[in-house]
Amino acid sequence: MNVFNGNPFRTSAPTTYGFDPGHVFAIREGVDEVLFKYIHHDRHVLTASPLANPELRQVFTQEQIHQLVQGGRLDPRIEQNQISRQKLLARSPDIKSLRDLPDAERDQLEFNWKLCRHVVQMYHDGKTSLTDKALRKTIAKAFMKLEHGIDLDADDACPAPGERKIKARKHRQRAELVSPATLRHWIRKLEEHEWDILALRDHRKGRVGCRAPKITDPHAVALMSRWVQAYLDLSRPSVSTLYKLMVGSIALEEENLRRERQGNLPLKGTDAPSFAAVNAERALKGIPPLPVPSKSTFERAIRRLDSFAVAAARRGEAYARRKHKISGKRRSVLFPGERVLVDCWRVQLKTLKLPHESWEGMPDDLTNKLAKIRLILCVAIDEATKIVLGARVNWTADADTAIRTLELVCRDKTQIASAAGCRSTWHHACTPTMVATDSGSEFIDSGFRFAVRDIGSSNEIGPASHPDARGVVERFFQTVDMQLLQFFQGRTFSGVYDKGDYDADAAAHMTAEEFSKALVRYIVDVYHNSPHAGLGGQTPNDAWEERAALYKVVPPPAPHVIRTVFGFSDNRRIQNRGVRFLGLFYRSEALGHLRKSVGQADIKMRADLENLGTIWVSKNVPGAEWIAVPCELDMEGVSAALWLETAAALRRKHVDVAKLRKHIVHAALRDLRETGRHSAEAGGIDPSVMSSNQLKLLEERLLEHFDYTVSSERGHAFDGLEGDSADVDDDAGPSGDTPLRIGDESEGHEQQRPVSRRRRRLGPDFLTKD
């Protein structure tokens, strides 16, 4: 009885190691080993003699033996000390363990071993003998017991039909009854080899059939080998075609004409003659004909070719390397956001480019003539939890699509999910530690790489032609194709062989906006809540919650960082009414002070395209302070897409868009906002034209002459600042919320809009219809 920390406990007795008399074991010293022959042991020591010097006796303490066992330096060499096992291993050199056998063969050996043990037990119990007559009944009883679980000797072996219990069917390999002679042979072999189950292995299977080559003539073998090498060609001739050419049943010219009609590459001419031509020449010389190999012999010769050489010769070296390469070690990721994979995929579905309301009500013949395209889906997925952090669809794979997808990674997307009708939230957002992409043009673009760097992440550009480096996102695309696209018409499938005669253009009916909503609904409600094989059966939502609690999630960037990285940036000048952006004017008292210091020089401007209520400006110098400037109109919560659609609607409705009143603009905004098409929530992941270049182009063409009237008071340029004759023109605006333009909104009473001294020249397209 020992006492440790006040708690009594008993220690176990030390282990006493030993062997059978004459046993040979080994002790390893590095790469070398020394063999010892066991002599004697007791509870304290073990005596053995080295095989190299049998006269020498060496004594090991049990503590030393224990240390050798713990260090893995003592090899008992069990198999080398059993004669029966050595015989079995010599007869089965192809296996080192029973686990090397196929499952079917291992199950059959196990059943036969149990059958022999059952019969031997019945023999020892005096219930049977080893004669043929007795063994036939005994084998049947043992077979029913082992195969079907029915004991024929029991009283209830055959229950009444009403009492019979029906068990669930389980697929298994059906065993067969064996003869008494076979069973006695098995028992003798098992007793000879100490009932080792490997003794029942049937070694005749390796010698079944004639393995000698049927074609022994060296000339025939050499001729066939030349035709086997013809299989290694980029035209990819089939085995059947080559065999017909080798035999001589068809000519090379006839085969090339057939391949030309089918649009395939012609077969290259081979200098190997056919067997028919060779045998014809041998007949003229009085020589016996060469034996013609069978088609199966020819096929076996082709199958013996090197797999890499076949792939390289028939499909190119790049394909051969991809087919035979060994995938690299998968990088281990732990916490959400540690490695985010971003990739683009061309959706295998034809969609209509126009919105639904544009073609609703059209006749079917006109609808079928509309342009049908395949969308590009850009996805950002977290490798640790398989959560989709961002998704965006567009007409083409460009850098703006990749940037907008990266922006969704850093934003809460619950409003997008709610607008799509999802029941689950899409709150997953983080700052990714690593953003892994391929070397596509949209990902090596400087804009995308700068955005990754500015949010605090690092960019990993994987090698080309190695999709397994981003296997998680590639498998997600396949999952979408199998689980989501099956509900839509107009699928293009993976190729012409899968598509067959299916006309995707004629069957296409899905619009881009409807597909976007269906995709969001699938990702949020189905994919995130379904068991994932890569997570061990855990759902991505559960994996995110568990790993976020166990490890960490880096919070998304601050709003000003997101606005800086993903917002619109440009250089502007401060005009008399303020800073003009998308036909809107932004002004404040701080902006007036900034104009006094910079004059007519350019300033830097940033805007959030999802909220035009405020922009941010600063001096065009490094490290300058940013100033928030509100809009003249109430544009809080109005997105750029909604405002551009409003401006386009006003141009279609009003002839002169330079004399619009404030209440007219707000009425148009309210009407479009009620439709919900251009809100930030309903916009979701639809295709967008909000890239920087496209936005500048729309601003020049759509809003170049756009203007609105907000007031009838004049005399102030900015809030709280009196107009300066040197800096302010006649159309300068008032202070605070005081409107800038002259105009009375009362019905029937309108003043003329004053004319500015500086007039801009009209562009060549100002009369262009929107």
* 401-453 pLDDT per residue, tens: 899 899 999 988 988 888 888 999 999 999 999 999 988 888 988 889 989 99
Task: State yes or no: pLDDT of 643 exceeds 50.
Answer: yes
- Higher pLDDT among residues 2 and 565, named by residue: 565
At 6, the pLDDT band (50, 70, 90 cuts) reads: low
In a domain, 332, yes or no: no
What was the pLDDT predicted at 768?
42
* Whether 416 and 312 share a structural domain: no
Q: How many CB atoms lie within 10 A of CB 165?
A: 5
DSSP state of 631: B
At 526, the pLDDT band (50, 70, 90 cuts) reads: very high
pTM of the predicted structure, to 2 decimals: 0.56
What was the pLDDT predicted at 146?
84
Comparing 121-135, 210-224, 357-371, the range with the smallest average pLDDT is 357-371
- Higher pLDDT among residues 148 and 673, named by residue: 148
In a domain, 60, yes or no: yes
Residue spans of beta strands (DSSP E) within 371-523: 372-382, 388-394, 434-437, 458-461
Q: Residue by residue, what is the 3-state secondary structure of 174-229?
A: CCCCCCHHHHHHHHHHHHHCCCCHHHHCCHHHHHCCCCCCCCCCHHHHHHHHHHHH
What was the pLDDT predicted at 86?
79
Residue % of the chain over a pLDDT of 90: 19
What was the pLDDT predicted at 634?
80
* Whether 455 and 400 share a structural domain: yes
d(CA 356, CA 511): 6
Q: Give the orientation angle of helix 662-675 with respect to helix 640-653, to 10 degrees.
A: 120
Edge to edge, the sheet with strand 578-581 lists 574-575, 578-581, 584-586
* Whether 387 and 528 share a structural domain: yes
Contact at 8 Å (CB) between 493 and 374?
A: no
At 469, the pLDDT band (50, 70, 90 cuts) reads: confident
Strand-pair partners of 607: 568, 615
Comparing 28-37, 212-221, 598-607, 649-658, the range with the smallest average pLDDT is 649-658
Contact at 8 Å (CB) between 249 and 257?
A: no
Comparing 12-21, 293-302, 470-479, the range with the smallest average pLDDT is 12-21
* Section 347-360 average pLDDT: 61
Q: Dmax over Cα atoms in the chain, in whole Å?
A: 131
In a domain, 160, yes or no: no
Strand-pair partners of 458: 434
In a domain, 741, yes or no: no
At 391, the pLDDT band (50, 70, 90 cuts) reads: very high
DSSP state of 522: I
Long-range contacts of 233-239 (CB under 8 A, 24+ apart): 233/267, 233/268, 233/313, 233/314, 234/265, 234/313, 234/314, 234/315, 234/316, 235/259, 235/264, 235/265, 235/266, 235/267, 235/268, 236/265, 236/314, 236/315, 237/267, 239/295, 239/298, 239/299, 239/302
What was the pLDDT predicted at 78?
80
> For the domain that residue 448 is a member of, what is the CATH number?
3.30.420.10
Strand-pair partners of 619: 603
Contact at 8 Å (CB) between 381 and 472?
A: yes
Task: State yes or no: pLDDT of 648 exceeds 70.
Answer: yes
* Whether 316 and 376 share a structural domain: no
**Contacts (Cβ under 8 Å, ≥6 apart) of 594:** 574, 603, 617, 619, 627
What was the pLDDT predicted at 523?
93
* Section 608-626 average pLDDT: 85
In a domain, 756, yes or no: no
* Whether 634 and 708 share a structural domain: yes
In a domain, 165, yes or no: no
Task: State yes or no: pLDDT of 504 exceeds 80.
Answer: no
Contact at 8 Å (CB) between 313 and 321?
A: no
Give the model confidence (pLDDT) of 559-607 as tens digits.
888 888 888 888 888 888 889 888 888 989 889 889 888 888 888 888 8
pLDDT, averaged across the chain: 78
What was the pLDDT predicted at 170?
47
In a domain, 580, yes or no: yes
* Whether 520 and 403 share a structural domain: yes
* Whether 248 and 350 share a structural domain: no
Cα 184-185-188 angle, rounded to 5 deg: 85
What was the pLDDT predicted at 339?
92
**R_g of the chain computed on alpha carbons:** 42
What was the pLDDT predicted at 740?
36
d(CA 645, CA 355): 14
* Whether 229 and 189 share a structural domain: no
How distant, in Å, are the alpha carbons of 80, 147, 650, 701, 770 from that of 586? 92, 87, 21, 20, 25
Contact at 8 Å (CB) between 621 and 601?
A: no
* Whether 389 and 462 share a structural domain: yes
Last residue of a domain, one of 550, 577, 605: 550
At 499, the pLDDT band (50, 70, 90 cuts) reads: low
Comparing 110-124, 555-569, 689-703, the range with the smallest average pLDDT is 689-703
At 505, the pLDDT band (50, 70, 90 cuts) reads: low
* Whether 262 and 347 share a structural domain: no
* Whether 229 and 364 share a structural domain: no
Comparing 84-98, 245-259, 498-512, 623-637, the range with the smallest average pLDDT is 498-512
d(CA 603, CA 629): 13
* Section 667-677 average pLDDT: 63
d(CA 221, CA 230): 15
Comparing 76-85, 113-122, 375-384, the range with the smallest average pLDDT is 76-85
* Section 101-116 average pLDDT: 87
Scanning 304-371, the segments in alpha helix (DSSP H) are: 307-315, 317-324, 356-359, 364-367
Residue spans of beta strands (DSSP E) within 42-94: 45-50, 58-61, 74-75
* Section 699-715 average pLDDT: 61
What was the pLDDT predicted at 434?
92
What was the pLDDT predicted at 733?
39
d(CA 311, CA 320): 5
Task: State yes or no: pLDDT of 362 exceeds 90.
Answer: no
Residue closest to 463 by CA, chosen among 484, 437, 429, 487: 437
Task: State yes or no: pLDDT of 11 exceeds 80.
Answer: no
In a domain, 542, yes or no: yes
* Section 659-670 average pLDDT: 70
Domain count, the chain: 5
Does residue 373 sit in helix, strand or coil? Answer: strand
- Higher pLDDT among residues 516 and 711, named by residue: 516
Task: State yes or no: pLDDT of 633 exceeds 90.
Answer: no
* Section 716-729 average pLDDT: 43
At 378, the pLDDT band (50, 70, 90 cuts) reads: very high
Highest mean pLDDT among 106-120, 208-222, 721-735: 106-120
- Structure tokens of 350? 């034809």
**Residue 590 identity (one-letter amino acid):** A
d(CA 491, CA 375): 12
What was the pLDDT predicted at 88?
80
What are phi and psi for residue 412, nearest 5 degrees? Answer: -80, 125
- Higher pLDDT among residues 85 and 218, named by residue: 218
**Domain residue limits at 703:** 567-722
* Whether 681 and 571 share a structural domain: yes
